[in-house]
Chains A and B, each alone.
Chain A
Amino acid sequence: MSDPNDPMAEIRVAFFQECEELLEALQDGLTSMEDGSGDSETINVVFRAVHSIKGGAGAFGLDELVQFAHRFETTMDAVRAGELTVDTEALKLFFRAADVLSDIVRASRDALETDQSAILAVCEELIALTGADAEEDEIDPAEFQATGLTLDLDLPDLDALDDIAVDLPPLTSADSLFGEDTIAREPSKYTIRFKPTSELYATGNEPLYLFRTLREIGVVKIDINTQCLPELSKLEPENSYLEWQLKIETEENENQIREVFDFVSDICDLEIKSNGMDAEVSCLPDILPNEAATDQVVSSSEVSNAIATPAQTENLAPSADQTVENASDNAAEIPLEVSPKPAQTPPATKPRATVRVDLERVDRLVNLVGELVINQAMLSQSVAQIGLPSNTPVFTGLDELQQLTRDIQDSVMMIRAQPVKSLFQRMARIVREASADVGKTVRLKTDGDATEVDKTVIERLADPLTHMIRNAVDHGLEDSKTRLANGKPETGEITLSARHRSGRVLIEISDDGAGIDRKKVLKKAQEKELVTKDGQLTDSEIDNLLFLPGFSTADKISNLSGRGVGMDVVRSSIQALGGRVSINSTPGKGTTFSISLPLTLAVLDGMVTQVAGQTLVVPLNTIEETLTIGKSDLNTLGPQTSVLKVRNGFVPLLDLGTELGYRKPKPDYVDSIVLLIAHEDGSRAALVVDEINDQRQVVIKGLQESYGRVPGIAAATILGDGQIALILDPVDIVAGASGRTKLSTETALAG
């Protein structure tokens, strides 16, 4: 399966993609069953989702998935058949089963271990729900033993069917087709009496084809018995009047002969006798009860002749059902046939709603469009430099080009965009699990599921979001008793919403809990010496203490907290996505975390600045404000470092030129421009730059591949004038800062 060109590997990938869609449909179905908005079709959708997963899993030999899906499917089938009424408890179980199912799907995809105890527990509950199902016993377990096919279809040589069995994967006992003894043995003779019912023809079967297949396993001699054939005037065109007697000499056994008749065994009279014993040739009385049996056996001498030409067969059997002729080639001969065959033009298949594209191709397109944007900017700039009058057609054309490139860029970015729905569904599961862990009843409401965000952003948002949801369940919401005492409904509510807001995506996680207990937070922070005892903090500053590394408010470590992940990690992972997170809390009403994210990771809103003759782009989302240093704002702290007074606080002053090694500290920073950078732990720093040029969108060009990680630098970009500029990683700069803003004598000596 490692071969990328292996069509099976490709289908396997597609299968897991489809699984995700099916799991989503499953969640949707269960959710609407929970809301009470589901009808019988909802149950069908749920059933089909599980059923399709099982079907595909079987083809890939994913035993565990097949077995669990089968168990789940059986239960859903009982619901569908109305044998099982779904109550709240049952629904909870179905949700858990869906969770387990998606776990197994993912484990199967990534070849990971599954949590057997969880699977077994759900399985047992599912069984308990349906009861020991009788139908269950009928199903041969071997049927569901996945066979792990490979599609290496060397087409079987039709004359050598016995060879095929050797190439097949090991067969289970139930899988008996050609699976018996395949060792060649002495040819034995069988006599077969075969009398089709009219249903055989009505279901599109054709005796001729059966005989042809039979010929592949041995030498066949065919005799037709037309004694039941009435006069033409009495002939019912759709009745079956013919009967055949076949003699076959084959090395195969009787089972193999029966296998040929597998599809028709219930719609014909079939007798197979070994050793050439003649089977009784008789006319079934139910079709022509009064017809005298005139011994009129038409025999064709050699089978091959009869079979080679369908026309001949039909001549021998002029009364064969109309359907038979329909399926054969010589329609002209048969007067009963009225409609000519329509032209066999394959219709245009329904336009597909989606195409699957390799992500790499999309990324290449994104990159190329990035180049296009840069190129367009360069072109505009160089045209502007020529000094043409602004009303020339060149400018109009350039404006249009700019508009077009922007539209193309937006459209290309949308290819990578995905609705946040799948992410939200995962969170629904987190809520279910977390609330069960701490014994709270919680309902998750989602809003704006269809909001689209870059695929990578969605993927990397899962972890921080999971943590925030867990926090909301564990710390945000009160337990049922407290809620009831406070006049709130027992069931806590968490709302997860997504929406677009001015070129960014805003994701909010709100709970209707008690809100942040600021006294407790402050006390904790003081105990941990994160803030000074006498520091005066505003409400929002106290709230932001939650983001400090190593902060935890839970009095006792519950199942959910104590996972070693704090809100500081949440904040930094969101910042790594170019996002920001903020808190809004009202005591007694609840808490809302807002995450603001860029739509894509391919472009970035940046501030273009000059430092020591270098052009640097600073991501806009990290800049809180820009200031000019006044004389009284600057304070020296230690021999080399200074702090800047910003309103009522002090922030460390960092010279970007010095930090990046472009220059030594300047003698004086008064009147310098600084960018106020918000650090992930809530602290801030002031970065000195020489000049601010512009605020613009830049296309991100990774440096990682060519240069590895460069401290303080996130990436690079190409500006409109063709100049390459580095994109700063301010958080990294501040973290690794020396803070030197003074030329101390010591350094001078040392240098």
Chain B
Amino acid sequence: MTLNILAVDDSRTMRDMISLSLRQAGFEPTLAEDGQHGLEVLQDFMPDAIITDINMPRLDGFGFIDAVRKTPEHRAIPILVLTTESAPELKARARSAGATGWIVKPFDPEKLVRALQMVTG
């Protein structure tokens, strides 16, 4: 099954890498450059899962997750947070914003794929 994944990250390199990892795993990535852009994309797109960065201009990852969880049709989409921070308080903040799980950067593509497969079934 091809999973449609929305990846939100302000770093082009990261977007490229996520996109490559996902494509190699047979997923279909859609990219957004920040939280605001991500929400715009979500207006007419229903991904199977979302990957998002935390530190982003305009709308950061916390705000983005929060907004997604407040949208009735999107509230159940699994959201993985991709972050360089592994500090427990950041995980807790991501969790309270409604993140499903997290992947620590630099990410292992296999881990990312496995995590996506797990949260989407």
B75, A47: Cβ atoms under 8 Å? no
Instruction: Say yes or no for A345: interface residue by CB 8 A criterion.
Output: yes
* Residues B44 and A204 in contact, CB atoms below 8 Å apart: no
> Given contacts A202-B69, A209-B119, are A153 and B13 in contact (CB under 8 A)?
no
CB < 8 Å: which of A138, A158, A327 contacts B121?
A: A327
Output the least CB separation between B116 and chain A (Å). 11
A11 (CB) vs chain B CBs: closest residue: B16
Minimal beta-carbon separation of A538 from chain B (angstroms):
55
Check if B102 is an interface residue, CB within 8 A of chain A.
yes
CA distance A614 to B88 in the complex (A): 79
For window 25-73 of B, CB contacts with A under 8 Å fall at 25-26, 28, 30-33, 37, 40-41, 43-47, 55-57, 69, 72-73
Q: 1/0 contact trace for B95-121 toward A, CB 8 Å?
A: 100111110111111110111011111
Report chain A residues within 8 Å CB of B46.
341-344
A346 contacts B28, CB within 8 Å?
Answer: yes
Among the stretches A53-61, A483-491, A594-602, A629-637, the one at the interface with B is A53-61
A11 engages B20 (CB within 8 Å):
yes
Tell yes or no: A52 within 8 A of B by CB. Answer: yes
Chain A residues contacting B43 (CB-CB under 8 Å) are: 347
Stretch at the interface among A141-149, A369-377, A668-676: A141-149
Residue numbers in B under 8 Å from A167 (CB-CB): 110
Chain B residues with CB under 8 Å of A155's CB are: 24-26, 113
Q: Which residues of A contact B24 (CB under 8 A)?
A: 151, 153, 155
A153 touches B109 (CB 8 A): yes
Q: Which residues does chain A contribute within 8 Å of B11, judged by CB atoms?
A: 18, 52, 55-56
A350 touches B17 (CB 8 A): no
* Number of residues from B at the complex interface, CB < 8 A: 64
Q: How far is the CB of A681 from chain B (nearest CB, A)?
A: 47
A603 at the interface (CB under 8 A from B): no
Q: Across the interface, do B57 and A327 meet the contact criterion of CB distance under 8 Å?
A: no
B12 at the interface (CB under 8 A from A): yes
Q: Are the C-beta atoms of A263 and B25 separated by less than 8 Å?
A: no
With an 8 Å Cβ cutoff, the count of chain A residues facing the other chain is 67
- Interfacial chain A residues near B75, Cβ < 8 Å: 202, 204, 323, 326
> Given A135-B87, A344-B45, A52 and B10 touching (CB < 8 A)?
yes
- Chain B: CB-nearest residue to A47: B55
A203 within 8 Å of B (CB atoms) = yes
A155 to B22, CA, bound (A): 10
Q: Which of A337-369 contact B (CB under 8 A)?
A: 338-339, 341-347, 349-350
A156/B114 in contact, CB under 8 A: yes
Query: Does A412 touch B at the CB level, under 8 Å?
Result: no
The smallest beta-carbon distance between A664 and chain B, in angstroms, is 64
Q: Do A56 and B100 contact each other (CB < 8 Å), given the known contacts A44-B57, A339-B72, A344-B4?
A: no
User: What chain A residues lie within 8 Å of B79 (beta carbons)?
Assistant: 203-204
Q: Which residues of A contact B45 (CB under 8 A)?
A: 342, 344-347
- Residue pair A51, B119 in contact (C-beta under 8 Å): no
Partner of B41, one of A14, A209, A347: A347
Which A residue's beta carbon lies closest to that of B16?
A11
- Does B76 lie within 8 Å of A204, measured CB to CB? yes
Give the 7 A-B residue pairs with the shortest CB-CB distance, closest first.
A263-B101, A58-B106, A326-B76, A153-B24, A15-B13, A56-B13, A204-B100
Could you show 22 A-B contacts with beta carbons less than 8 Å apart? A11-B13, A15-B16, A52-B10, A58-B84, A59-B106, A59-B107, A151-B109, A155-B24, A155-B26, A155-B113, A177-B111, A202-B98, A203-B98, A204-B79, A206-B78, A209-B121, A327-B120, A341-B46, A344-B47, A347-B43, A347-B44, A350-B41
User: Using a CB–CB distance below 8 Å, which chain A residues touch chain B?
Assistant: 7-8, 11, 14-15, 18, 44-45, 47-48, 51-52, 54-56, 58-59, 135, 138-140, 143, 146-147, 149, 151, 153, 155-156, 158, 164, 167-168, 177, 202-206, 208-210, 212-213, 260, 262-263, 266-267, 310, 322-324, 326-328, 338-339, 341-347, 349-350
| 19 further contact pairs, Cβ within 8 A, besides A203-B99, A212-B121, A342-B46 | A14-B16, A51-B55, A55-B84, A59-B105, A149-B106, A151-B17, A151-B24, A153-B110, A202-B69, A204-B76, A208-B121, A209-B120, A213-B118, A263-B100, A263-B118, A324-B76, A326-B75, A344-B47, A346-B28
